[in-house]
Amino acid sequence: MNILMTGGTGFIGRALIKSLLDKEHKITVLSRTPEKVYTLFADSVIALSDLQKITAADHFDIIINLAGAPIFDQRWTAERKKIIRDSRIKLTEQLVRTIATMPQKPALLISGSAIGYYGDQGDSELTEQSNSRPDFSQQLCADWEQAALQAEKYGVRVCLIRTGLVLGANGGILQRMLLPFKLGLGGRLGNGRQWMSWIHLHDWIAIAQAMITNQQMRGAYNATAINPVTNQEFSKALGKILNRPACLPLPAFVLQALLGEMSALVLGSQKVVPERLVKQGFEFQFSHLQHALTDIVK
């Protein structure tokens, strides 16, 4: 199939493209830096710098929309928040407008979202049907999803992938955590009781592949493992895998002073479970954190 992807040079996007190429799909990657696309994938993909270069002769069976400015790289100033929102919502709106002009519509739009959709909810177990609590991340995800769902007006099946903390080698949250933990400087964040809903990169890719092949899948899905853990449990598990202590907590007030509003990303609690995936028979290869960390780190 012909697939158009945004966000293809990111941590998750790179891995997904590799898996799609292994299945002999033809991939076009939308990127402001086509040279980076070709550096990563050589001649295996086509790089597209602007949606306006898509012509009536072009046809894509599937669009996968994962683009978005990094949410954790810089402090959340008003300007940074606008960049974060525009890179997700405005691009998604542009994709839907592009779909509207296509003589032959794609069959499927897979659009990114995140478990930030639910907001900080303490110990409450959260499924796809749970209510949300408003904050910046929640509003960002809700607006992002609504922009993507507009494609349904053109007969496109839309799947929203509410991604948890993706664990994999050479990127994601583990890349940030490994060095301090290897140096014996790791520990819980705040009181450590906040829930972390994680997923192994392998399982995230399998969910995206299932959305492609299973035409009954539509709407929002929580892309998280079936066994979320608290931050303290995560810290202990990572320390054990690395054979290092994990006993240097970082107090909440320090994180709040360093990160400002963005501290909600590490101090907020979301105990998310993939109810819809489980009901539809999806099988996770990595259900337990220790197994996932061992696979990645060892």
Q: State the pLDDT at residue 215.
A: 96
Identify the burial level of 45 via C-beta atoms within 10 angstroms of its C-beta, where 0-12 means exposed, 13-18 middle and 19 or more buried: buried
Read off the amino acid at residue 64. Answer: I
Per-run averaged pLDDT (10 residues), the chain, 298 residues: 96 96 96 92 93 88 96 92 96 96 96 97 97 95 98 98 96 90 93 97 98 97 98 96 92 92 94 97 97 94
Those residues with Cβ within 8 angstroms of residue 246's Cβ, 6 or more apart along the chain or in another chain: 181, 186, 187, 188, 235, 236, 238, 239, 240
Q: What is the C-alpha separation between 223 and 161, in angstroms, rounded?
A: 6
The set of long-range contacts for 116-121, using a CB threshold of 8 Å and a minimum separation of 24, is 116/140, 116/141, 116/265, 116/270, 117/141, 117/142, 117/145, 117/162, 117/220, 118/270, 118/272, 119/268, 119/270, 120/264, 120/268, 120/269, 120/270, 121/269, 121/270, 121/271
Residue 65 three-state SS:
strand
Q: What is the C-alpha separation between 204 and 106, in angstroms, rounded?
A: 22
DSSP secondary structure letters along 7-42: STTSHHHHHHHHHHHHTT-EEEEE-S-HHHHHHHHG
Buried b (16+ CB within 10 A) or exposed e, 220-258: bbbbbbbbbbbbbbbbbbbbebbebebeebbeeeebeee
Q: What is the C-alpha separation between 127 and 221, in angstroms, rounded?
A: 9
- Domain residues of the chain, as ranges? 2-233+258-297
Q: What is the C-alpha separation between 182 and 175, in angstroms, rounded?
A: 11
Residue 92 three-state SS:
helix
**2-233+258-297: CATH class:** alpha beta
Q: What is the C-alpha separation between 196 and 268, in angstroms, rounded?
A: 9
Q: State the pLDDT at residue 65.
A: 98
Verdict on whether the full-model pTM lies above 0.85: yes
Q: State the pLDDT at residue 73.
A: 86
Buried b (16+ CB within 10 A) or exposed e, 89-118: bebbbbbbebbeebeebbebbbbbbbbbbb
Those residues with Cβ within 8 angstroms of residue 241's Cβ, 6 or more apart along the chain or in another chain: 290, 293, 294, 297, 298
